[in-house]
Amino acid sequence: MTGTLILVRHGQSEWNLKNLFTGWRNPDLTEKGIGEARATGRRLKAAGYQPEVYFTSALKRAQHTLDLILEEMEITEVTITRSKLLNERDYGDLSGLNKDDARQKWGEEQVHVWRRSFDVPPPGGESLKDTAARTLPYYEATIVPELKAGKTVLVAAHGNSLRSIVMAIEGLTPEQILKRELATGEPVIYRIGADGKLVETVAV
């Protein structure tokens, strides 16, 4: 028995468009982001997927993405589990700042370290390692049991919270996951075995 895990990073947000550090701040989707979410819903439906269990973060851009996907898949009357443990990485003092302005304030090299190192957090914020420390226990305790039971699970969340899950599933090193980009609105699909381990990655 295998379960299916569908991970979707939220569609483009208003702050993605403005090149701002977002983190736990709560902007909604742009028109492009709405289109990305709807397109993913149509793709998943056309491919024959029928999610049975739904998870998202406490932030509206991920919640809105999930709602739009379900609408396009014509899935109604569902129970959605929302948790801040699936929230984006907290960028701390960088939150709300334009990325170019941050480089001017702290220097290109320092901002690059905060953005692209595994375990160096920005001031007042989280590193990817910190993000994984809250996301992975939630994944193992709450999502994996559904996959072991053979269910199809849809998770709409954020670039860094999902990267930490991808890192665990694919067995990637910190260096490898830092190079892994998840595009807005794009699904990543895995078959997960009854032991909770990766069986295969599926293209859609």
What are the boundaries of each domain within the chain? 3-202
Catalytic one among 10, 36, 146, 158? 10
- Assess whether 10 carries a catalytic annotation: yes
Phi, psi of 185 (to 5 degrees): 80, -5
pLDDT in tens, 52-62: 999 999 999 99
Token pair listed for 27: 């902007």
**CATH fold of the domain at 3-202:** Rossmann fold (3.40.50)
Model-level pTM? 0.96
Report the candidate in 2, 40, 35, 30 with the shortest Cα–Cα distance to residue 153.
2
Catalytic one among 36, 72, 88, 146? 88
- Assess whether 88 carries a catalytic annotation: yes
The CA–CA distances, whole Å, from 186 to 23, 106, 137, 162 equal 19, 32, 24, 12
pLDDT in tens, 22-48: 999 999 999 999 999 999 999 999 999
Question: From its phi and psi, is residue 92 left (phi > 0), alpha (psi between -120 and 50) or beta?
Answer: left
